[in-house]
Structure 1
Amino acid sequence: MDELRKIDLNLLLALHALLSEKHVTRAAIRLHRSQPAVSHALAQLRTHFNDPLLIRQNGHMALTARAQSLAKPLQDALASLDSLLAAPRFDPVLAQRRFRLSLSDYSSRIILPPLVRYLRQAAPGVDLAISQASREAMLAQLLDGELDLALGIFPELPQGITAQTLFEDRFVSIADRQVLPAKGGLALGDWLARPHVLMAMRPDAHDEIERALAAQGLRRRIALALPHWSAAVEVLGGTDLILTVAKRAVGPMHQHKALRQFAPPLAIPSLAYQQAWHNRKDSDPGHRWLREAVWACCQPGH
């Protein structure tokens, strides 16, 4: 390190060009510098190494023994510096890495099947560790560095967190066919009079439906609050319960022949389903690759 402090790194670049070209003018062209500037650099290098480095032999410039001994170590050193200063790269085929994701079983069913298939083909050494939490907990885990990626609905993001919309979804209501009119759905008054199922990680969650109701000064009765998407649909048959959820959470209705889907009699904004990450991950090429893979797996026709 002491020797490195004694020399300008630009002189090492000049030395590399001089050793490669064995000619001051050609070295100057290679370095995009003037010939006098490269001649001055050569003089400094000769002083530093206490060796002429380039000597004239038979009408041509040739390397001294000292210069020849410098050529390979200098090439290796500059290659190492170039690798150090270059932007990091991520090769999914060779990568051995584990990413920590948090998402609900709603998004797991939509995103994980195509994502896992893609990872097994494109990045067989990449592993996923999946957890589930409320949106507040997911954001806290991103801030604390406990998660790489959180997937959900994040209407408000804390400082330092970035989110990208993966797809949009709309709300539908579902109930047992036997407790619905022969055609259509329910009027708002009838809809509010029925007991409802709340899908949330916490029973006291104030979700998009509750906010839409509160905006009109309305409330609904929550007869059952639970965090399991699949169970929420299964409990409806043979009851007077109504479940209002994102349409893609339900899946094909032919699997639930006793139930019927209808539009809620209430204006509820569509859902923007997102992936969120901490800004510290922005420059991580592996993390960027994963985000792009998740986004691609959410696009139509994937």
Structure 2
Amino acid sequence: MHETNSLRGVDLNLLVVLDALLAEQHVSRTATRLNMSQPAVSHALGRLRHLFDDPLLIRRGGKLIPSAKALEIAPILTEALRQMQEVLEPEGFDAAREKRTFRLAMSDYGSSVILPGLLNVLRRDAPGIDVEIVHSSRDVMQGMVRDGECDLALGVFPKLPDRIEAQQLFVEHFACLADQAQLSGHDPRALEGYLARPHILVTMKDENISEIDAALAACGHTRRIAVTLPHWANATRLIGGTDLILTVAHKALQHMDGNPAFAIFEPPFSIPSFSFVQIWHERRNGDPGHQWLRDVVASLAMSLK
């Protein structure tokens, strides 16, 4: 920082913009977060670069990458602003008055089990908070969290990069869905019948072998994949009137429970259960709004059957 600068001569609002820019690493999302125009955020970034005599955020491949100086000051700045907020607003975060947009990454499975309850809470308790949902593969969602392109990602993430935090929401297991009228003949509730049937596979095209096929391979078997698609919700609609078998996370089938036209049953071989988690970048740890959102998601997950 220039020697001629002093705290009294600094517009502290610029530090709020810098904190948001370092968290979002994106001008338009920072503008949305702070309820500012994009030109105003760009102008503030120019003033910040002069103030710190450093580029702070460097554009590379369409992204804003923090400079070494920015990475050094980011945690100090976030903590300083948090303490200032506690002084000015001793009651802390007020969801009912907050106006903000959160960007969440999740599959349609995550959307089906978490999103309805989350929207109910937001409309009831935080009507000024909006959410934008994006959907992609596991690796891409992790990258979006790492690069500040989304606030929170929900899914199955066996391996996480550095500086990514995670919280387990629940442990899930697999179940199978079949047309009840098609159970005779090759009964899929037995392994021989299961392997004789055609199957639906839900996967993103850039993901590796599914947990189901990995479990089958471990016991020396393969199955015939007759249909491959990227969406869980559409998969359940393809079962009626066919001999197809769908093996998916159990909670994705809960809306089918009690429907006499369909059979839901345990796979006839062992498939390891998995942890469904929410992940975020450690830069969000000092954000009370983000903490509130994580707590809401965790509470909703605990209430699921």
Question: Which TM-score applies when normalising by structure 2?
Answer: 0.67
Q: Does 1:199 align with 2:208?
A: no
The answer to whether the Cα contact below 8 Å between 2:137 and 2:206 also exists between their aligned partners in 1 is no
Would the aligned equivalents of 1:134 and 1:201 in 2 still touch at CA under 8 Å? yes
Instruction: Give 2:247's aligned residue.
Output: 244
- In structure 1, the residue matched to 2:163 is 160
1:145 alignment partner in structure 2: 148
Deviation of 1:84 after TM superposition, in Å, equals 7.0
1:267 aligns with 2:270: yes
Q: Residue by residue, what CA displacement relative to the aligned partner does 1:177-213 show, whole Å, maximum 9, x if unpaired?
A: 2331499853222212211101122276422212212
Residue pair 2:98, 2:129 contacting (<8 A) in 1 also: yes
- 1:179 aligns to 2:203 (yes or no): no
**Based on CA coordinates, which of the two structures has the bigger radius of gyration?**
1
* Structure-2 residue corresponding to 1:128: 131
Q: How far off its partner does 1:151 sit?
A: 0.5
Whether the 8 Å contact between 2:235 and 2:246 is mirrored in structure 1 is yes
Question: Are residues 1:213 and 2:216 paired?
Answer: yes
Aligned mates of 1:3, 1:225 — CA distance in 2: 62
Give, in whole Å, the separation in 2 of the partners of 1:215 and 1:265.
14
Q: How far off its partner does 1:132 sit?
A: 0.8
Counterpart CA distance in 2 for 1:81 and 1:154 is 35
Task: Find the aligned partners of 2:154 and 2:146 in 1 and give their Cα distance.
Answer: 14
> CA separation in 1, counterparts of 2:84 and 2:214?
56
In 2, the alpha carbon distance for the partners of 1:3 and 1:271 equals 53
Match of 2:288 in 1: 285
Q: 2:95 aligned with 1:92, yes or no?
A: yes
- What is the alpha-carbon distance in structure 2 between the residues aligned to residue 3 and residue 244 of structure 1? 63
**Cα distance in 1, alignment partners of residues 198 and 153 from structure 2:** 32
Q: What is the match of residue 238 of structure 2?
A: 235
SS for the counterpart of 2:212 is helix
My pick for the range that moved more, 143-152 or 158-167, is 158-167
Give the Cα–Cα distance (whole angstroms) in 2 for the partners of residues 298 and 2 of structure 1.
49
- The residue type equivalent to 1:280 in the other structure is R
Superposition deviation, residue 83 in structure 1 = 5.9
Does the CA-based 8 Å contact 2:187-2:194 persist in structure 1?
A: no
Q: CA deviation at 1:258?
A: 2.4
Distance of 2:191 and 2:229 partners within structure 1: 24
Provide closer, same or farther for how the CA distance between residues 145 and 209 of structure 1 changes in structure 2, counting only shifts above 3 A.
same
- Residue 88 and residue 219 in structure 1: after superposition, are their counterparts in 2 closer, same or farther (change >3 A)? farther
TM-score, L = length of structure 1: 0.67
User: Which residue does the alignment assign to 1:106?
Assistant: 109
Aligned to 2:228: 225
Equivalent runs, 1:10-159 vs 2, <5 Å: 89-159=92-162
Q: Is the CA contact 1:174–1:261 (under 8 Å) kept in the aligned structure 2?
A: yes
Cα deviation digits, residues 236-259 of structure 1 (max 9, x gap): 122121100111101243564322
- Distance of aligned partners of 1:96 and 1:232 in 2 relative to their CA distance in 1, 3 Å threshold: same
User: Per the alignment, do residues 104 and 204 of structure 1 end up closer, same or farther by CA in structure 2, a change over 3 Å counting?
Assistant: closer
1-structure distance, mates of 2:164, 2:213: 25
Q: CA separation in 2, counterparts of 1:226 and 1:267?
A: 24
Corresponding residue number in structure 1 for 2:256: 253
Identity percentage of aligned residues: 46
What is the alpha-carbon distance in structure 2 between the residues aligned to residue 237 and residue 90 of structure 1? 48
CA contact (8 A) 1:176 1:239 kept: yes
Aligned length: 228
Structure 2 alignment gaps of length 5 or more:
9-82
Relative distance call for 1:255 and 1:203 in structure 2 (3 A) is farther
CA RMSD of aligned residues (A): 3.1
Is 1:203–1:225's contact at 8 Å kept on the other side of the alignment?
A: no
Q: Following TM superposition, by how much is the alpha carbon of 1:107 offset from its aligned partner in structure 2, in angstroms?
A: 1.8
Q: Distance in 2 between matches of 1:2 and 1:160?
A: 33
Q: Which residue of 1 aligns with 2:303?
A: 300
